[in-house]
Amino acid sequence: MTDTVDSPETSPWYRRIGPPTRYQWMTLGSVACMIGAWFLVTEFGLANELFLPHPEAVFKSFIKVATRGYQGSTLLEHVGVSLYRIMAGFGLACLVGIPLGILMGVSRSAHAVFSPAIEFYRPLPPLGLYTLLVMWLGIGEESKLALLFLAGLPGIIIATIQAVTQIDPIYVRAARSLGASRRQLLWQVYLPGAGPIILTGMRISLGFVYTVLVAAEIVAATAGIGWMIWDAAKFLLSDVVIMGLIVLGLTGVALDFTMRLIGRLLMPWTRRQRSVP
Amino acid sequence: MKLFTKTLTALAVSAGLASAAMAEAPKTVTVGYLNLVNAQLVTKSLGLVQKEMPGVDVKYIKVGGGGDMLRAIAADQVDFGGLGNPPTAIGVTRGLPIQGIMVLNMLDYVEAMAVRTAAGIKSFKDLKGKTLAAPFGSTTHYLLLKALADEGMDPASMKILDLRPNDIAVAWSRGDIDAAWFWEPNLNKAVKDGGHIFMTSGIMASRGYPTWDVGIVMDDFAAKYPDYVKKFLKAECAGIDFWLKNPAKTAEIIAKELELPLADATRMMKGTEMVPCSKQLTGQYLGTAATKAKSGFVETLLSTSAFLVEQERLPKQMTREQFSDFMRPDYLEAIVE
């Protein structure tokens, strides 16, 4: 149905039971190399401790923040607050972006009406936008969620438009000639056909949402993993900064993995076209 | 100890190769200055540093606050900088390669806590349940928590937000916060917009919590160009003297530099105490090379870092010797006669 066939995202390694494949060994090896290099560089004093602390120091700060907390909240609470903000902002972006993208992909007039606003704000730097959002919405959660929402929205809309417009018109005509209603067209043709590309757009958008998280939590937050990183940086606590970045990165990987999993459950037809490694 | 041997080498180099050192000049000198009201604005505006160093390209970089200055220092982007006492304690504890060489300013009511008049805050007890703001890690955040502790108030009984001065001004104008401890020029916006001054950093100084900004130089620069450290100090001292002798002209300079009305610049000037360089060597401020360990600045750094350790913002308490090693009044002694 689509061309996005044998990308690694569709490989079903999580279902596989048995020894790791060659590719999994390569992944493990690359991770091990990065950590190994980190160990060596810090062990032999090649890096200033202020910029790159020893892995042990980072691990210790992880244990400390996880058990005793950082400035009044434990690591779990910081992660929880940030994940709530990310999920709310991103979820809202999906709820608005996917329908709007389909509309803009199907209807030329909708495209003409909405695209100027989206194209205009899309390249604006988030911090510039944020000052304005704070003025409009205040220093509470609203402005933070709005920033995350706006960061996630364009990627989803653009991917959805792209996904809808590349659907083979034969499918649409065939469904129409068989008497499909508008609703049936949406649910039986457009969404299934566009699904895989929309999912890719969502994954890229989630990345954008992550990039503005620290910016969103700079203003008047007292919890959140982005705030923790920002606050620790002010006190030059680089072990906490690096620990926070690693935790943030891992939550991103976990969310991305979840999205791929959901995508595969909702769109089993994409699995058919994979090439088995 | 390391600093001591470094100093010895530096002294040997400057003494033994005095003529060579004269010839050896840095290509550029980068001065990071804090966005606040002090005589550095005068020195900058009159080009005094440049006059002391003909042939050297003198660059000025405006830095928003202590946190940004620490990052600029860590990234080796400045030769000279300025830091308030909490960022200094942080920088020294984290081993930044810096030395304190002069008093930039003592903070009086140029830093103050503004409260919204409508919020009816008459005493610290009234802050309970209110929303406050201060830039975390700054002099004012330090004083806010000190003042609350002295009044026996639990900081958890109110909402204290981390906002930068310009964000405080925005949040204030929207009515999101009831009180904020920060500094000019943004402080004045809050006062004009339905607020009044509730507590000043000057009052806290008289209670035994002085706050100040110290001029710093990077270790490498000082070791390589000790004469240029002295030239820099000469220029800054001249700026301070100009400030003290010509208040009217200074106000004009500050109004121009910060794009403020003259009346505001005049008031802000009065809220900052400038210390003439000869007085900086007394025990109340830097002390001399012989007396620095017992100087007022080392005392303040000790109590500031003890406070930050208690707040879990610093991993360890530095000793009196370590803070004393950081302070280097000897450059100033060499030019003040």
The beta-carbon neighbor of A236 closest among B90, B163, B176 is B90
B168 pLDDT above the threshold of 70 = yes
Distance from CA of A44 to the nearest CA of B (A): 18
Average pLDDT taken over every residue of chain A = 85
Query: Is 60 exceeded by the pLDDT of residue B163?
Result: yes
Confidence category of residue A6, pLDDT binned at 50, 70, 90: very low
Tell me what pLDDT residue A60 has: 92
pLDDT more than 90, % of chain A = 33
Higher pLDDT, A144 or A72: A144
Following DSSP, what letter does each residue of chain A receive, concatenated? --S--SSGGG--GGG--SS--HHHHHHHHHHHHHHHHHHHHHHTT-S-TTTS--HHHHHHHHHHHHHT-BTTB-HHHHHHHHHHHHHHHHHHHHHHHHHHHHHHHH-HHHHHHHHHHHHHHTTS-HHHHHHHHHHHH-SSHHHHHHHHHHHHHHHHHHHHHHHHHTS-HHHHHHHHHTT--HHHIIIIIIHHHHHHHHHHHHHHHHHHHHHTHHHHHHTT-SSSHHHHHHHHHHTT-HHHHHHHHHHHHHHHHHHHHHHHHHHHHH-THHHHTPPP-
Where residue A47 falls among pLDDT bands split at 50, 70, 90?
confident
Mean pLDDT across the stretch A52-56? 89
Tokens of B168: 């405080």
Give the chain A residue whose CA is nearest to the CA of B134: A220
Please give the pLDDT value at position B20. Answer: 46
pLDDT at residue B84 in the model: 93
- Mean pLDDT of all residues in B119-125: 90
pLDDT of res. A51: 81
Kindly report the nearest CA distance between residue A143 and chain B, in angstroms. 12
Interchain proximity B170–A135, CB inside 8 Å: yes
Residue of B nearest to A130 (CA): B167
**B281 interfaces chain A, CB cutoff of 8 Å:** no
pLDDT score of B5 more than 70: no
For chain A, say whether B90 makes contact (Cβ under 8 Å).
Answer: yes
Cβ contact A135–B174 (<8 Å): yes
Closest CA to B286 of B242, B332, B322: B332
Looking at CA atoms only, how far is residue B71 from chain A in angstroms?
8
Given a cut of 50, whether residue B18 has pLDDT beyond it is: no
- Choose the weakest-confidence range: A272-276, B101-105, B124-128: A272-276
Domains along chain A with CATH numbers: 8-43 (no CATH), 55-272 (1.10.3720.10)
Q: Does B313 touch chain A (CB under 8 A)?
A: yes
Neighbours of A251 (CB within 10 A): 17
User: pLDDT > 90: what percent of chain B?
Assistant: 70
B133 CB neighbour count, 10 Å cutoff = 30
Q: Which helix (H) or strand (E) segment is B111 a member of? A: strand B111-116
Of A232 and A16, more confident: A232
Query: Per-residue pLDDT tens for A164-214?
Result: 888 888 888 888 888 888 888 888 888 888 888 889 999 999 998 998 998
Residues of B in contact with A69 (CB under 8 A): none
The position carrying tokens 């608005």 is A96
Mean pLDDT of chain B: 89
Using CA atoms, how far apart are residues B215 and B165, in angstroms rounded to an integer? 22
Region A58-76: what's the mean pLDDT? 90
pLDDT value for A14: 55
Record: contact B167-A50, CB cut-off 8 A: no
A223-A227-A231-A237 Cα dihedral, nearest 10 degrees: 100
Residue B167, chain A, CB below 8 Å: the answer is: yes
Structure token digits, residue A265: 């459950």
Among candidates B161, B313, B314 on the partner chain, residue whose Cβ is nearest the Cβ of A139: B161
pLDDT digit string (tens) for A108-142? Answer: 898 889 989 888 888 888 778 888 888 899 888 89
Pick the residue of B313, B314, B316 with the most A CBs within 10 A to test the interface with A by mutation. Answer: B313
**The predicted structure's pLDDT at residue A108:** 86
Chain A environment of B70 (Cβ under 8 Å): 234, 236
Cβ separation B74–A236 shorter than 8 A:
yes
Cβ neighbors of A207 (< 8 A, separation 6 or more) are A252
Model confidence band, residue B136 (pLDDT cutoffs 50, 70, 90): confident
Tokens standing for residue B207: 């209670």
Give this complex's ipTM: 0.76
CB atoms A234 and B74 under 8 Å = no
> What value, to the nearest 5°, has the Cα angle with vertex A225 and ends A222 and A226?
80
Lowest mean pLDDT among A33-37, B111-115, B136-140: B136-140
Cβ pair B136:A231 closer than 8 A:
yes
* Local confidence band at A4 (pLDDT 50, 70, 90 cut-offs): very low
Please report the pLDDT score of residue B245 as a whole number: 95
Residue A126, pLDDT score: 73
Can you give the pTM of this predicted structure?
0.79
Per-residue pLDDT band at A277 (split at 50, 70, 90): very low
A217 touches chain B (CB under 8 A): no
Which residues in chain B are closer than 8 Å to A140, comparing Cβ atoms? 176
pLDDT 10s digits, B280-299: 999 999 999 999 999 999 99
Per-residue pLDDT for A2 more than 50? no
